[in-house]
Amino acid sequence: MESVPVLIVGAGPAGLATAACLGQFSIPYAIVERESCSASLWRNRAYDRLKLHLAKEFCELPHMSYPVDAPTYIPKTLFVKYLDDYVERFNIQPKYLTSVESSTYDNDEKCWSIVATDMSKCTTVKFTAKFLVVASGENSAENIPMIPGLENFPGDVIHSSSYKSGKSYSGKNVLVVGSGNSGMEIAYDLATHGANTSIVIRSPIHVMTKELIRLGMALAHHLPLNLVDKLLVMAAYLIFGDLSRHGITRPKMGPMTLKSETGRSAVIDVGTVGLIKKGIIKVQGGISKIKGNIVKFQCSKRISFDAIVFATGYKSTANIWLKNGESMLNGNGLPIQKYPNHWKGENGLYCAGLARRGLAGIAADAKNIANDIKSLALLERSKLSTEI
């Protein structure tokens, strides 16, 4: 049994940021991670051409900036190095290969009781903590939709987390399901490597350039969001034209408001739209079923494919191991409260990086959590000194 003031579950950017902020206040903590390294999503489950979609000033973790010579849009390899440097600078020492199985709140002892498995030794490890931080991420488990006949598809079926490059798909018919940033970028990568690429776009999306989003985020500090949205939509129309004829429609809600209200991001174009306009990438509607290698779409179109890539996102797994977390998380393992009040539950329970606000949101969560724990610790000390 190890007793710690704070236990952080997850050593991705959210867990590391929280650890660094606690360290700044000299608050002791332990951080556990089920994988064999920190930030495993970025190291092992991100495609080769990935860059951070937002400018570097919106993607820093607390108390450490990027090197002055870093590019405006940070590539994956440089971001992983930044995280490694972050771990070293703040002397963060995660307990790797430690998978939390359950955590419950003990009302009598007024603390969290956590049971974990040390996967390297196949032994059980127990912790008690006054404060528990859920930093296991929105992207804990792959989300692949149920499609009739998918189980009998004879070709490759992969989630975007397993996709690295389009090199091996040259000359093949490949369907990308999902039109978020990952789906649109993977479709572009496949097409530029010679794959016959189709992409399923079912829902309305905002398509922007990275420069427009950077401008919008800067303007949002000075102008109302609805005005920023109008400017962005107008600029995007001038750049891309009417995309509805190509199967891409815009949401009624503007891009900045949509992100603020729902957490859904605009798609930052990397060249995909140009290939769609040229007919090199073909836009398809929803899938009704799959029979053999034939995909039948809801418009009754039938097309054969050699591979399907699901860029359909991830889901939180926090509810599998977190008990007594109803004050903070809903049935999907995401915060009940809306941003910016989402990060705190009851009985010393917190979450970092679950608000769909990217790295800037992670930084804000980490600072809020550390400040709150510091305030509560000071309050408790004050009570004890009064009693004495």
Residue range(s) of every CATH 3.50.50.60 domain in the chain: 2-140+316-387, 143-310
pLDDT higher than threshold 80 for residue 371 = yes
Of 323, 332, 327, 319, residue with least CA distance to 343:
327
pLDDT above 80 for 383: no
Position 224 confidence tier, pLDDT thresholds 50, 70, 90? very high
Planar angle of CA 276, 281, 283, nearest 5 degrees: 75
Greater model confidence, 377 or 237: 237
Provide the CATH number for the domain formed by 143-310 in this structure.
Answer: 3.50.50.60
Residue 8's φ and ψ, nearest 5 degrees, are: -105, 125
Percent of the chain at pLDDT exceeding 70: 99
Q: What is the mean pLDDT of residues 33-39?
A: 95
For 67-84, write each residue's pLDDT tens digit. Answer: 999 999 999 999 999 999
Judge: domain 2-140+316-387, CATH 2.60.40.420.
no
Share of the chain above pLDDT 90, in %: 85
The 10s digit of each residue's pLDDT in 296-326 is: 999 999 999 999 999 998 888 898 899 988 8
Helix 13-24 crosses helix 76-89 at what angle (to 10 degrees)? 30
pLDDT at residue 388, as a whole number:
56
Confidence class of residue 63 from pLDDT cuts 50, 70 and 90? very high
Least confident segment among 140-144, 148-152, 195-199 = 140-144
Alpha-carbon distance 378 to 99, whole Å? 31
* Strand pairing report for 314-315 and 173-177: unpaired
The pLDDT, as a whole number, for residue 220 is 93
What span, in angstroms and rounded, lies between the C-alpha atoms of 306 and 293?
7
Task: Report the 10 Å Cβ neighbour count for 102.
Answer: 12
Average pLDDT over residues 134-144: 85
3-state secondary structure of 283: strand
Q: What is the pLDDT of residue 385?
A: 64
